Amino acid sequence: MADQKVPLLEVKNIVKRFGGLVAVNRVSMEVYPGEVVALLGDNGAGKSTLIKVVSGVYPPDEGEIYFEGKEVKINNPMDAIQLGIETIYQDLALAENLNVYSNIFLGREKLKKWLGLVSVLDHDYMHDESKKVLDRLGIEIPSLKNKIKMLSGGQRQSVAISRSIYWKAKLLIMDEPTAALGVAEQRKVLDLVRTLKDQGVGVIIISHQLYDVFQVADRMIVLRRGEKVGERITKDTNSDEIVGLMVGAELVEDSKGEEV
């Protein structure tokens, strides 16, 4: 069904080398609008390198990237952001000393004229707009005037996601979004991912927590030593099979004809 639409993101035969090491070797994948794709693999499998290629941190050595059907060159993070590809890293990149709405508008502050002379920050506008986007995503934070350092890990994650959504992310890449969170907060973040999906945003999730991945992902792509070793629709697979692909211990009979 999804295959009839144009993929939001399509990467073809991406290769990224660091000196003699081939970190990503001829990997192809696509993400459709409103689809959640999980990137799985053991440490060093090449997941992070692959998303850094997509988000503009590392330009690829070989391969093509298509966004909304058109071939694009992503040479730096700004290129990616301008296309609508937002990446949320594990450290979230929030200024903890600033409040919630200031972070959502960081670097793109809304200004107004003071006494018709000087441009000053328009706090009311930024507060109200932030409130709207948080409400739309069903995020509850007591007051947007609170500094980030007063918030829990899950709330911070929500703020980072809201910022991407407010600035019209079409594809959201999340690196270990639930790693540092408590159980209740993990569930909230996963709910948020489902909300994004319903709103037509494409999501790539990197996670070690298979349980989370099975909760939200539509499709799973498994990498091992820089190569794509399997791709499964979530409802057609189980965690044993995925772990098998990740560590390379799958039985030959099981994987016959399925391996790429």
Partner 1 sequence: MGQTLTSKREKNALVWFGQNWIFLFLLFLVILFSFVGRGFFSPKTLNNILISSSPALLLAAGEAFVIITGGIDLSVGFVRGLISVLSAIVMRDLYALGYSPAFAISVGIIVGLGVGLLPGLVNGILVAKFRVPPFIATLGMYGIANGFALRLSQGFPISFVPPQAREIGNGFIAYWFPGKGISFFAPPEGISGAEVRHIVGIIPYSILIAGVIIAVFSFILTRTQFGQHTYAIGGSIDAARRAGILVDRHLIKVYMISSFFAALAGVLSVLVFGNGAPTQFASSLELFAVAAVVIGGASLMGGKGSLTKTAVGVFILSVLEIGFLMAGVFPFYRYIAVGAVLVFAVIIDQVMPELVYE
Residues that bind partner 1 (CB under 8 A): 77-78, 81, 91-98, 102-103, 106-109, 111, 114, 118-121, 142-143, 145-147, 149-150
Q: Which C-beta is closer to partner 1: that of 103 or that of 234?
A: 103
Interatomic CA distance for residues 232 and 225, integer angstroms: 18
Rounded least distance, CB 175 to partner 1, Å: 13
Q: Which C-beta is closer to partner 1: that of 19 or that of 107?
A: 107
Which runs of consecutive H residues, i.e. helices, occur in the chain?
Answer: 47-54, 77-83, 100-104, 123-136, 153-166, 183-198, 210-216, 239-247, 252-255
Per-residue tokens: 213: 């991945």
Rounded least distance, CB 145 to partner 1, Å: 5
CA atoms within 13 A on the CB side of 92: 25
Q: Which C-beta is closer to partner 1: that of 95 or that of 233?
A: 95
Rounded least distance, CB 120 to partner 1, Å: 4
Residue 131, judged by CB atoms within 10 A of its CB (0-12, 13-18, 19+), counts as middle
CA atoms within 13 A on the CB side of 146: 13
Q: Which C-beta is closer to partner 1: that of 120 or that of 247?
A: 120
Interatomic CA distance for residues 38 and 13, integer angstroms: 18
Rounded least distance, CB 94 to partner 1, Å: 6
Per-residue tokens: 230: 């399997």
Q: Which C-beta is closer to partner 1: that of 160 or that of 217?
A: 160
Q: Which C-beta is closer to partner 1: that of 93 or that of 247?
A: 93
User: CB–CB of 103/148 below 8 Å?
Assistant: yes
Rounded least distance, CB 130 to partner 1, Å: 14
Rounded least distance, CB 87 to partner 1, Å: 9
